[in-house]
Amino acid sequence: MTRPRSTPAVTVVLATIVLVGTLYVGGRSVAGAPALGPLLDPVRGVWALARTSTPPRAAELVIPGLGSDVDVRFDERGVPHIFAHTVADAVRALGYVHARDRLFQMELQTRAVAGTLAELVGDRAFPVDREARAQGLADAAMRGYERLGATAPGRILTEAYADGVNAYVAGMTAAELPLEFRLLGARPQAWKSEYTAFLFARMGLTLAYSSGELRRPAVEALIGRTAADALFPVNNPIQEPIQPNGQRAPRLDWKPIPPPGPSNPAAAMTALAERDAHARFVAAIGGVVDAGMARASHLTAADRDQTDDVAVGSNNWAVAPPRTAAGRALLAGDPHLALTLPSIWYEAHLVVADSLDVYGVTIPGAPIPPIGFNRDVAWSVTNTGADVADYFLEAVDDVARPRRYSVDGEWRPLRERVEVVRGKGGRVIAVDTVLETHRGPMLRNGANWISRRWTVTDGYDAVAPFLGAATSTSVRELLAATDAFLAPAQNFVSADRGGHIALRSTGRFPVRARSANRGDVLIDGSASANDWTSWWTPAEYPQAYDPPQGFVASANQQPKDPRVDPRYLGWDWPSPWRAMRINQMLREDSAVTPDKMRRMQTDPVSAQTAHFLPAFIAAANAAADRDPVLKQAAEVLSAWDGRLVGENTQSVLYDAALGELAARTWDELVVTAGGERPRRVDTPQSAILLQLMQEPDSPWWDDRATPNVRERRDDILRASVTAAWQRVVARLGPPGPNWRWGASRHALARHLLGIAALSRDSIPVTGGPGSVAPSSGDGNHSASWRMVVELGDEVRAWGIYPGGQSGNPVSRRYDEFIGRWSAGTLDTLRFPRRADELDLGVTSSTIRFRGVP
Partner 1 sequence: MTRRIALRTLLVSLAFAAATVIGWWALPVSAAAFGAMTSRDRSGPIVAGIAAMIAWSGLLLYDAAFGPVGTVAATLGGILQIRPIAVYMLTLAFAGLVALCAAIVARSAARLTRGDGL
Q: Which residues bind partner 1 (CB under 8 A)?
A: 3-9, 11-12, 15-16, 18-19, 22-23, 26-27, 36-38, 40-54, 179, 183, 755-758, 809-810, 812
Shortest Cβ 45–partner 1 spacing (Å): 7
Shortest Cβ 37–partner 1 spacing (Å): 4
Nearest residue (CB) to partner 1, 11 versus 528:
11
Nearest residue (CB) to partner 1, 267 versus 755:
755
Shortest Cβ 76–partner 1 spacing (Å): 18
Shortest Cβ 2–partner 1 spacing (Å): 10
The angle formed by the CA atoms of residues 675, 680 and 686, to the nearest 5 degrees, is 160
Nearest residue (CB) to partner 1, 40 versus 639:
40
Nearest residue (CB) to partner 1, 8 versus 734:
8
Shortest Cβ 175–partner 1 spacing (Å): 9
DSSP string covering 427-493, please?
-EEEEEEEEE-SSSBEEEETTEEEEEEEGGGG---SHHHHHHHHH-SSHHHHHHHGGG--SS-EEEE
Shortest Cβ 78–partner 1 spacing (Å): 15
Q: Distances from the Cα of 471 to the Cαs of 282, 350, 352, 356, 462, in angstroms?
A: 35, 11, 10, 6, 15
Shortest Cβ 25–partner 1 spacing (Å): 9
The angle formed by the CA atoms of residues 504, 505 and 509, to the nearest 5 degrees, is 135
Nearest residue (CB) to partner 1, 52 versus 270:
52
d(CA 2, CA 220): 95
Question: Which residues have C-beta within 8 Å of that of residue 323, sequence separation ≥ 6?
Answer: 550, 551, 586, 589, 590, 591, 592
Cβ-contact 587, 549 below 8 angstroms = yes
Cβ-contact 827, 601 below 8 angstroms = no
The angle formed by the CA atoms of residues 272, 719 and 253, to the nearest 5 degrees, is 65
Shortest Cβ 425–partner 1 spacing (Å): 20
d(CA 459, CA 200): 9
Cβ-contact 713, 693 below 8 angstroms = yes
Q: 140 burial class (0-12, 13-18, 19+ CB within 10 angstroms)?
A: buried
d(CA 403, CA 433): 11
Which residues are paired to 410 by β-bridges?
407
Shortest Cβ 44–partner 1 spacing (Å): 8
Cβ-contact 629, 722 below 8 angstroms = yes
Nearest residue (CB) to partner 1, 429 versus 810:
810
Dihedral of alpha carbons 463, 465, 469, 472, sign:
positive
Shortest Cβ 823–partner 1 spacing (Å): 23
Cβ-contact 66, 92 below 8 angstroms = yes
Nearest residue (CB) to partner 1, 650 versus 811:
811
Nearest residue (CB) to partner 1, 44 versus 599:
44
Q: DSSP assignment, residue 727?
A: H
Nearest residue (CB) to partner 1, 11 versus 828:
11
Nearest residue (CB) to partner 1, 177 versus 183:
183
Shortest Cβ 784–partner 1 spacing (Å): 23
- Amino acid letter for position 373: F
Shortest Cβ 233–partner 1 spacing (Å): 47
Nearest residue (CB) to partner 1, 33 versus 618:
33
Question: Which residues have C-beta within 8 Å of that of residue 780, sequence separation ≥ 6?
Answer: 291, 292, 295, 338, 339, 747, 748, 749, 750
Shortest Cβ 187–partner 1 spacing (Å): 16
Nearest residue (CB) to partner 1, 172 versus 645:
172
Nearest residue (CB) to partner 1, 8 versus 675:
8
Cβ-contact 228, 216 below 8 angstroms = yes
Q: H/E element holding 551?
A: strand 551-554
d(CA 152, CA 586): 40
Cβ-contact 495, 318 below 8 angstroms = yes
